[in-house]
Structure 1
């Protein structure tokens, strides 16, 4: 799955009514992906991890803890490509998500749910990029925690 297909799928599955925690989005995405070949589910997981990894930077999450920062980054992805691109371009656009604690945790489990529906098995997923907070070492390179040699 390429990046354009990923974002189009997010857009196509976003509900028209308010979805504060992205539960409806996650359900619709999982349902749609479960009807696709397994390769598309894997591609979705890779693109989701890549998007979350790109938002894993000190300028976005210096005031948020690990899970809060992860779920907030997921909310930016759930908001769609336009919001995602605006946040990448201007870190200040991330502030409303962090300040209001807008989370989209269910989005993280979407590929796993689709995988299970297709295969009947749990997925021990391992994507090229980790979406866990502070995994993007380059994005945190001059953060005091890393400069002191403490690592992740």
Structure 2
């Protein structure tokens, strides 16, 4: 998949990470997202969140299937907060912009955040969210891609 983010929308290196991508980064330490982690640490990429997305992250860390004790949950939350900036409530969205609707209403907040924060990318592994990428690109809003597709789209990447 070849994806390019609309150049006119916000910072080219501002991204929104959905919860599954955060799990890969801060809990599972998946090698597939190691370059994304380095880009965050180096300041080459600015990741943003808002109160609703951060609260979902906090809730997910407590899911029994993750089997994280309180110390591990706190460590993942602290690392998230270290690398992901809490976006201001003000919206960069132009009046009248309509976002596509997610099949899962719990995922809609990530699209809303990407639009409000002026992000160029929403990184997700959710198939339903990824399906909306053509529409957000067509409308000149932001790209929706997997972390792997995002990495391939970066300058100097093949």
TM-score of Structure 1 vs Structure 2, range by shorter chain: under 0.3
Superposition TM-score, scaled by structure 1 size? 0.27
Superposition TM-score, scaled by structure 2 size? 0.26
Higher normalized strand content (fraction of residues)? 2
Higher normalized helix content (fraction of residues)? 1
